[in-house]
Amino acid sequence: MKNQSNKIVQKHEAKDLPSALQDIPNLINGKKPAVFLDYDGCLSPIVKDPENAVMTEEMRDTLKRLANVCSVAVVSGRDRANVEKLVQLDNLYYAGSHGFDISGPNNMHTEPGGASEAVPALDKAQKTLDDRLKEVEGVLVERKRYAIAVHYRNVADDQVNKVLQVTDEVIGQHPELKKGPGKKVMELKPNLDWHKGKAVRWLIEELDLNKPDIVPLYIGDDLTDEDAFATLQGEGIGIMVGEHDEKTAAEYRLEDVEDVQAFLETLTQTIRRQQNV
């Protein structure tokens, strides 16, 4: 993919974007798609407890059929092993920890972002957060391999500022870490120039998908997916699921997880028709 350091990224209100489900032929324009998508909010609904974010068997079957006709990768903030366990399909690629840990068919396994350098700082930050937030009811400090997610979806409104303040302070104590905001979650991530967009770009190059007859699609619902939307602008298609609190670099939208499944199902059928022509 091209160097995008000077690219001007266009932002839109999610509610103003056209429906990806209603425009699949124009969206892929006769090309073969390569599909990248987030897990939470796309393959599974957002739930109060991240451990209960279970994908339906119908969605799994849809994803499996799609992966039989094109390249599919799940790009998640979850640990790579965790998202693999949730999806349970061996013909997909998995980029966990926002792309710091990548695996796939034929024994692919790599950690291209250099996140291991930040593990000692994450260990120390986790201990501090556990101690300083232990009295806040509803807060969840979730340690991942290369990140810490501080969930405050179940925290009382009058305690949210405390959670955010403490998290900011802890991040400030560790220059090896940076802030990663999301939907009712604040993450502590390695302070490295790596994100979901760079992971998608790495996969496109590694899988030899950078071809005129292939169009990369990225489906995401959260602020962390904006890097991938921005990366693909002008060279692929970003599809926003629902909306978040800011403008988006996506160019199409889907309403919810049910819309995502319908889109993936129709996309699979469209690819098969193209292959039979």
Report the alpha-carbon distance of residue 276 to residue 172 in Å, rounded: 56
Report the alpha-carbon distance of residue 150 to residue 163 in Å, rounded: 8
Question: Rounded to the nearest 5°, which phi and psi values hold at 135?
Answer: -90, -5
Report the alpha-carbon distance of residue 104 to residue 94 in Å, rounded: 6
Q: Which two tokens stand for residue 203?
A: 């996969």
Q: How many CB atoms lie within 10 A of CB 31?
A: 15
Report the alpha-carbon distance of residue 57 to residue 97 in Å, rounded: 24
Please pick, among 38, 101, 222, 225, the residue that the annotation labels catalytic. Answer: 38
Looking at the DSSP assignment, which residues form a beta bridge with residue 102? 95, 110
Q: Which residues contact 258 (CB under 8 A, 6 or more apart)?
A: none
Q: Is 38 a catalytic residue?
A: yes
Catalytic residues: 38
